Amino acid sequence: MINQPKILVIDDEPLMRISVADALIAEGYEVKGVESGREGMDLICKNAYDVIMTDLKLPEVDGLEILKTALKCFPKSKVIMITAYGSVDTAVEAMKQGAYDYITKPFSMDELLIIVKRLIEFRELEYENIKLKNEIGEQYTFEGMVGNSVKMQEVLEKVKVVADTGSTVLITGESGTGKELIANAIHHNSSRKDNPFIKVSCAALPESLLEAELFGYEKGAFTGALKQKKGRFELAHSGTLFLDEIGEISPAIQVKLLRVLQERQFERLGGTETLNVDVRIICATQRDLKKEAKQGVFREDLYYRLNVVPIHIPPLRERKEDILLLASGFVKKFAAQNNKPIQCISEKAKELLFHYPFPGNVRELEHAMERAVILGNSKEIQPADLPDDMLNFYNKDLKTSIKISYAEPLSKAIEHFEKEFIIKAIDETKGNKTLAAVKLGISRKTLWEKCKNYGLDKAK
């Protein structure tokens, strides 16, 4: 079941918008109502709505454009067009383009609720299908990317849909979340796959060098320019250019880039000939460019040119279901590379990995597994094979907080709680088990047994 289906209502008539939203909220849906198409498009790009209801006729951005964005950004959204009496032809056209249904004004709330309920049931079926796939162990992998979580599956689906469109893509996410891997997957699933995939790390080069790298230069353009050199834009012709860490480029280069994006034209440094290129652009950044554009730190016009299709990769701590799957994959890979017999991870080490917040995301997990495979002496990865950061976090975390996670059954959660409770009591009594047992209201023998079960006797 979807926890609480999310619905977006876009209508510039306040009365209509509010009454539709109220009726849907009363049914238990999470509803957001907005009046402008632009605001709606913005939300659609950032959130996965189960159902989008939009008026067909809106000032500025109309319902058909909203439909297009919805299909591009989150293809699983079901779009319902609200049309005025007499514009049924356009509504039918919208359905041909991928809308799920339309409803003609004036309509009764009952009529509307029936349509929405049917769509939500359909969404739930799709959702169950994905879950079932996971349960029967069908791993969701794509181009070497592993991800069992619903969040990651949504990312991968978006990658598949957008790959062959040629649209500019902006990939965002914390360090080590897999931005470069996604950029690779997009290129290799596009019709440009046999043409060049050129990568430029914008943070690695100072401004003048970056400009020369991107656009190339003519002989004599500057001291040291001994012969003509093609830039990365030219080299990427008919293929894809991946501009990594795009948030780091200087204002001067932002202007130049904007021109290439708008006109697909540029000149080499020191040159007069205007060159035309056919390049698909993919960018990546860890920064919040939208915020920076609003603050005037990054050009707003460039931001909108780059953010045609946004793909956000959530940090690993927000998709904990992926941790163990990724970890096992890495163990197998590094064991094969290093000729080690290790094939799995002990239960204790799994627990530790599961609770760790992974500030360095997948890269941190990958390095930890590589190290563990190389250092490990037994057939299974043990906690002692993991980096100190992980061990320390686990010990500290257990003493100070109780982690609530629905990824484990109640019986396991109770065990965790009990363990934390005991550790806290032993800590507070500075290791005096008799006093700790009194505090906990259990006999010393029971405490001793529990400590043994939880492996706490070794810690003290």
Both tokens of 220, joined, read 């004599």
Residue count (the chain) = 460
Query: Minimal CA–CA distance to 422: which of 451, 453, 381?
Result: 451
Q: Is 403 in the site for ligand ATP (CB under 6 A)?
A: no
CB of 358 to ligand ATP, least distance (A): 11
Give residues with Cβ within 8 angstroms of 86, minimum separation 6.
none
The interface with Mg ion within residues 160-199 (CB under 5 A) comprises: 179-180
The CA-to-CA distance between both ends of the chain, in Å, stands at: 44
Decide if 338 contacts 374 (C-beta within 8 A): yes
Both tokens of 119, joined, read 């769509």
Q: Is 248 in the site for ligand ATP (CB under 6 A)?
A: no
Q: Is 181 in the site for ligand ATP (CB under 6 A)?
A: yes
Decide if 236 contacts 192 (C-beta within 8 A): no
Please say which residue, 141 or 446, places its beta carbon nearer to ligand ATP.
141
Please say which residue, 157 or 180, places its beta carbon nearer to ligand ATP.
180
Please say which residue, 179 or 416, places its beta carbon nearer to ligand ATP.
179
Q: Is 247 in the site for ligand ATP (CB under 6 A)?
A: no
> Can you tell me the distance from the alpha carbon of 153 to that of 437, in angstroms, rounded to the nearest whole number?
47
CB of 448 to Mg ion, least distance (A): 50
Please say which residue, 270 or 329, places its beta carbon nearer to ligand ATP.
329
Give residues with Cβ within 8 angstroms of 337, minimum separation 6.
none
The interface with ligand ATP within residues 46-105 (CB under 6 A) comprises: none
Q: Is 146 in the site for ligand ATP (CB under 6 A)?
A: yes
Give residues with Cβ within 8 angstroms of 92, minimum separation 6.
102
> Can you tell me the distance from the alpha carbon of 274 to that of 234, in angstroms, rounded to the nearest whole number?
12
For residue 189, give the DSSP letter.
Answer: T
244 forms beta bridges with 201, 284
Q: Is 362 in the site for ligand ATP (CB under 6 A)?
A: yes
Which partner from the list ligand ATP, Mg ion, none does 366 bind, CB cut-off 5 to 8 Å by kind? ligand ATP
Please say which residue, 168 or 328, places its beta carbon nearer to Mg ion.
168
Both tokens of 431, joined, read 């290791």
Decide if 119 contacts 69 (C-beta within 8 A): no
Please say which residue, 9 or 202, places its beta carbon nearer to ligand ATP.
202
Stretches 144-152, 262-270, 338-346, 432-440: which one binds ligand ATP (CB under 6 A)?
144-152
Q: Is 280 in the site for ligand ATP (CB under 6 A)?
A: no
Both tokens of 6, joined, read 């999310």
Q: Is 145 in the site for ligand ATP (CB under 6 A)?
A: yes
CB of 4 to ligand ATP, least distance (A): 27
**Binding residue for ligand ATP, selected from 76, 78, 158, 179, defined by CB under 6 A:** 179
Q: What Å distances lie between residue 283 and 146, 171, 286, CA to CA?
A: 21, 6, 11
Annotate each residue in 365-394 with x if it binds ligand ATP (CB under 6 A) or - if it does not, as one string: -x----------------------------
Q: Is 349 in the site for ligand ATP (CB under 6 A)?
A: no
Annotate each residue in 300-329 with x if it binds ligand ATP (CB under 6 A) or - if it does not, as one string: --------------------------x---
Which partner from the list Mg ion, ligand ATP, none does 286 bind, CB cut-off 5 to 8 Å by kind? ligand ATP
Q: Please give the single-letter amino acid code of residue 227.
A: K
Give residues with Cβ within 8 angstroms of 249, minimum separation 6.
202, 210, 257
Q: What Å distances lie between residue 280 and 101, 170, 184, 257, CA to CA?
A: 34, 12, 12, 13
Q: Is 331 in the site for ligand ATP (CB under 6 A)?
A: no
CB of 212 to ligand ATP, least distance (A): 23
User: In 3-state terms, what secondary structure has residue 33?
Assistant: strand
CB of 220 to ligand ATP, least distance (A): 36
- Phi, psi (degrees; rounded to nearest 5) at 190: -110, 170
Stretches 159-167, 170-178, 186-194, 400-408: which one binds ligand ATP (CB under 6 A)?
170-178
Q: Is 115 in the site for ligand ATP (CB under 6 A)?
A: no
Chain residues in the site for ligand ATP (CB under 6 A): 144-147, 173, 175-181, 286, 326, 362-363, 366
Residues that bind Mg ion (CB under 5 A): 179-180
